[in-house]
Chain A
Amino acid sequence: MTKQLHILRCSGAALLTVVAVATGCTTVKPYQRAQLNDARMQLGQRPLDQPDSHVHTYREGSTGGGGGTVSGGCGCN
């Protein structure tokens, strides 16, 4: 029951975040994107993240969530 409540709370928080973000966004014109297009602002995983991400996949039970493989493809758990 506690676990279900925890999942429910996390789902609620995630939903609130999505709603807050979706309603709080402003339109950014292409000529206003200089800062968003900076290489450091790039979303997702970068090549330099790959070796550490690989280590985390092997040495930790959690995987996925935008970084590395969720499951399969290695002899790890």
Chain B
Amino acid sequence: MKKRLLTLACVLAALAADAQTPVPSAYPPDPPPAPYTKQTVSQTTLRLLLSHYRQTGRHSAVTGGDGTEELTVQAQELALTYAPDSAQTLVANVGVDAITSASTDRIDYVLSSASRVDYRAHGNVGYRRRLAADPRVTVSGQSGFSLESDYFSLPVGAAVTHRSPDGSRELTLGVQAFFDDLRWGRVNPGYYRPVKLIYPVELRTQEWYSTYRRTSLNVTGAWQQVINRKLQLALYPEVAYQQGLLATPFHRVYFADDARTVRVENLPGTRWKLPVGAQLHWFATGRVVVRSYYRWYWDSFGLTGHTAQLETPVRLSPFLTVAPLVRLYQQSAVRYFEPFSGHSPEATFYTSDYDLSAFTSLNLALSLRYAPHLERPGRFGFQAFDVRYSHYRRSDGLAAHNLSLVVEVLRNRPRPAAN
């Protein structure tokens, strides 16, 4: 009986007890929790690219394969990537290059500092969308322009990408067309419109070409394949067809005759190109990744080329990566190439452009990446800073230095979903 009374007393005490007496709070009461709303995160990336390029050489095509190739290019570009949701991405970029070239100054045989400077302005916009009907398929389109004093290009392109259900394979098929106009005068004071093809000063007594247009059609493929947890491969087969004015109108060619004839470069009006590239990336250790690349190239001018590249990014800390790079390249000459004063006057097509001669080249580079990926919700946060020094040397004596810099900021902004 005593036990029952004690149990009853305990239960009643527990029911009646208050642990604390409520006291008025100095703080306002917490608001009731907001009802759940579905949100999407829009992502905006801004990227600034700066580069300074300096080149020396002694085989300028403007002076028939014998002359200075001194060149300096200052390039700057701003790129925007905006993804309002996970299905769509808008990309846009604009840039201006300032080009100081000693060889193009020789078109007129006038060495004036003003005529040495040229500019290239370029811009592109693109849109990419994952299909609602089949989320494994992404379609994209792009267009833009590239403008120089002696060049205007209008590119148009489209691509479709299919991803395998397990995400281990991705196939892309793309088509690109470039409509180029090689007339001079668009960015030249007093003209600001396309006027005519520009020939070397002593060869302006006749019109050398019947067309000023160049049209290029490129069909590009990409097959990306995950091989295992540490290895992935990509193959890039491409076919390109060009027609129109494929020679450069201000390139001189000197012939091997007593009169030392000089003419404007002449190349066939059509050209097929067939490059196939392969990338193999291997996550060797937690610190080291090996990035390898090989390309085989053939074209209907008779040029074949092989490119091999190896880059090994090494992670020094969670934020800092250093990446040495070596690139080897070899090409055969086009069948129309001869050096200065080497062409037969009977030849139909001829060039002394050493970019189309047989040579090997070595490119060594070292890049440094600092990527803290700072997040500032709703605001731009610093993502990464990349800098690369690159040295390029060709077996014909051309040498170049290139210093590049990329700064990237990113903003994530949550907003209510449409449905």
Contacts and interface: CB of A to CB of B under 8 A. Distances in A.
Interface of A: 7, 10, 14, 17-18, 21-22, 24-28, 30, 32-33, 35-36, 38-44, 47-48, 50-52, 54-56, 58-67, 69-77
Contacts of A73: 146, 153, 155, 178, 180, 216
B20 interface: no
Given A51-B404, A75-B248, A61 B334 contact: yes
Contacts of B371: 39
6 contacts: A25-B225, A42-B281, A44-B234, A59-B398, A60-B355, A64-B297
B220 to A, nearest CB: 7
9 closest A-B pairs by beta carbon, nearest first, are: A72-B178, A65-B277, A72-B216, A66-B236, A62-B305, A65-B275, A66-B277, A62-B297, A64-B275
A12 to B, nearest CB: 13
B151 A71 contact: no
B298 A7 contact: yes
Contact of A36 (B75, B151, B226, B303): B226
Given A26-B228, A35-B230, A61-B303, A67 B295 contact: yes
B355 A43 contact: no
Interface string B162-181: 00001110000000111010
Given A41-B281, A77-B353, 6 more contacts: A17-B278, A62-B295, A67-B295, A72-B177, A73-B146, A77-B246
A43 B283 contact: no
Given A47-B47, A71-B178, A72-B242, A52 B402 contact: yes
Given A28-B229, A33-B229, A59 B400 contact: yes
A70 B275 contact: yes
A32 B355 CA distance: 46
A59 B392 contact: yes
Interface string B277-297: 111010100000101010111
Contacts of B279: 43-44, 66
B224 interface: yes
A30 to B, nearest CB: 7
A35 B283 contact: yes
Contacts of A54: 75
Contacts of B153: 72-74
B227 A24 contact: yes
B229 A35 contact: yes
Given A47-B49, A64-B238, A21 B233 contact: yes
A7 to B, nearest CB: 7
A28 B289 contact: no
A65 to B, nearest CB: 3
Contacts of B242: 71-72
Contacts of B226: 25, 28, 36
B370 interface: no
A63 B273 contact: yes
Interface in B240-299: 240, 242, 246, 248, 271, 273, 275-279, 281, 283, 289, 291, 293, 295-299
Contacts of B404: 48, 50-52
Contacts of A27: 166, 168
Given A43-B281, A52-B363, A75-B182, A64 B273 contact: yes
A7 B176 CA distance: 25
B255 to A, nearest CB: 21
Contacts of A14: 235, 276
Contacts of A43: 224, 232, 234, 279, 281
B321 interface: yes
Interface string B375-393: 0000000000010101010
A51 B218 contact: no
